Structure 1
Amino acid sequence: MKEDFLHYIWQHQYFGKTALATTDGAPLEVLRTGFYNTDAGPDFREAILRVGEVEWSGSVEVHLRASDWHRHNHQHDPKYDQVVLHVVWQADVPVARTDGTLVPVLELQNRVDLRLLQTYEQLQRARHPIPCAPFWRDVPEITKMLMLERALVERLEEKGQEVLQVYCGYGNDWEQTTYYSLLRGFGFKVNQQPFEQLAKSLPFHVVRRHQHNLLQLEALLLGQAGFLADAEEAYAQLLQREYTFLQHKYNLQPLPRHHWNFLRMRPANFPTVRLAQLAALLHQHPSLFTRILEADAVKKYEQLFQAPVSGYWQKHYLFGRASKAASKGMGKSSAQNLVINVAVPILAAYATNTGDRAYLEKAITLLEQLKEESNKYTRLYGELGWQAKSAADNQAALGLYKRYCHLINCMRCAVGNKIMKKNSPAK
Structure 2
Amino acid sequence: MQEDFLHYIWQHQYFDKTNLYTEEGEPVTVLRPGNRNADAGPDFLGARLQIGEVEWNGAVEIHLSASDWPRHQHQTDPKYDQVVLHVVHIADHIVRRTNNTLVPTLALATRIAPELVQRYQALIAAPPSALPCAPFLAQIPTITRAMMVERALLERVEQKATSMETLHQQLGGDWEATTYHALAAAFGFQKNSEPLARLAKALPLNVMRRHRHDARQLEALVFGQAGFLHETAETESDSYLASLRNEYTFLAHKYTLAATALPVHAWNFLRLRPANFPTVRLAQLVALLHARPTLFDALLTAADVLTLEQFFAAPLSEYWREHYRPGRVGKVTSLGRSSAQLLIINVVVPLRVAYARYVGQPELTETAVALLNQLPAERNHLTEPYEALDFSHRSAADSQGLLALGRSYCEPRQCLRCAIGSHVLRQNRVVR
Confirm or deny: 8 A CA contact 2:353 2:364 kept in the other structure. yes
Q: How big is the shift at 1:103?
A: 1.7
Counterpart CA distance in 2 for 1:263 and 1:84 is: 59
Residue 369 (1) aligns with residue 370 (2): no
TM-score by length of 2: 0.93
Moved more, 171-180 or 108-117: 171-180
Structure 1 counterpart SS, 2:55: strand
Q: Which residue of 1 aligns with 2:263?
A: 256
Confirm or deny: 8 A CA contact 1:119 1:423 kept in the other structure. no
Structure 1 segment 102-141 matched on structure 2, within 5 A: 102-127=102-127, 128-141=129-142
Q: Which residue of 2 aligns with 1:292?
A: 299
Structure 2 counterpart SS, 1:58: strand
Q: Which residue of 2 aligns with 1:6?
A: 6
Structure 1 segment 20-169 matched on structure 2, within 5 A: 20-127=20-127, 128-169=129-170
Confirm or deny: 8 A CA contact 1:317 1:323 kept in the other structure. yes
Alpha-carbon distance change, 347 to 111 in structure 1, aligned in 2, over 3 angstroms: same
Flag structure 1 segments of 5+ consecutive residues without an equivalent.
none
Q: How big is the shift at 1:297?
A: 0.7
Q: How big is the shift at 1:125?
A: 0.4
Flag structure 2 segments of 5+ consecutive residues without an equivalent.
none
Structure 1 counterpart SS, 2:383: helix
Counterpart CA distance in 2 for 1:40 and 1:365 is: 38
Q: How big is the shift at 1:182?
A: 0.8
Q: Which residue of 1 aligns with 2:407?
A: 402
Alpha-carbon distance change, 292 to 96 in structure 1, aligned in 2, over 3 angstroms: farther
Q: How big is the shift at 1:130?
A: 0.8
Residue 315 (1) aligns with residue 316 (2): no
Confirm or deny: 8 A CA contact 1:307 1:330 kept in the other structure. yes
Q: How big is the shift at 1:312?
A: 2.4
TM-score by length of 1: 0.94
Structure 2 counterpart SS, 1:376: coil
Instruction: For 1:386, give the aligned amino acid.
Output: F
Counterpart CA distance in 1 for 2:41 and 2:428 is: 31
- Residues 297-348 of structure 1: CA deviation (Å, up to 9, x unaligned): 1112212221112222233323344446x7x211111111111111122223
Name the count of aligned residue pairs. 423
Moved more, 407-416 or 189-198: 189-198
Counterpart CA distance in 2 for 1:101 and 1:348 is: 50
Residue 224 (1) aligns with residue 231 (2): no
Counterpart CA distance in 1 for 2:212 and 2:278 is: 20
Counterpart CA distance in 1 for 2:142 and 2:263 is: 52
Instruction: For 2:161, give the aligned amino acid.
Output: G
Q: How big is the shift at 1:251?
A: 1.8
Q: How big is the shift at 1:198?
A: 1.3
Confirm or deny: 8 A CA contact 1:160 1:348 kept in the other structure. yes
Identity %: 54
- Residues 110-144 of structure 1: CA deviation (Å, up to 9, x unaligned): 11111111111111101252101110111111111
Confirm or deny: 8 A CA contact 2:145 2:391 kept in the other structure. no
Q: Which residue of 2 aligns with 1:239?
A: 244
Counterpart CA distance in 2 for 1:422 and 1:310 is: 62
Counterpart CA distance in 1 for 2:90 and 2:108 is: 7
CA RMSD of aligned residues (A): 2.0
Confirm or deny: 8 A CA contact 1:66 1:95 kept in the other structure. yes
Structure 2 counterpart SS, 1:17: coil
Question: Which 4+ runs in 1 deviate beyond 6 A?
Answer: none
Structure 2 counterpart SS, 1:134: helix
Confirm or deny: 8 A CA contact 1:85 1:104 kept in the other structure. yes
- Residues 184-228 of structure 1: CA deviation (Å, up to 9, x unaligned): 110112322321221232222322332232221111101111111
Q: How big is the shift at 1:175?
A: 2.0
Moved more, 5-14 or 229-238: 229-238
Counterpart CA distance in 1 for 2:46 and 2:386 is: 38
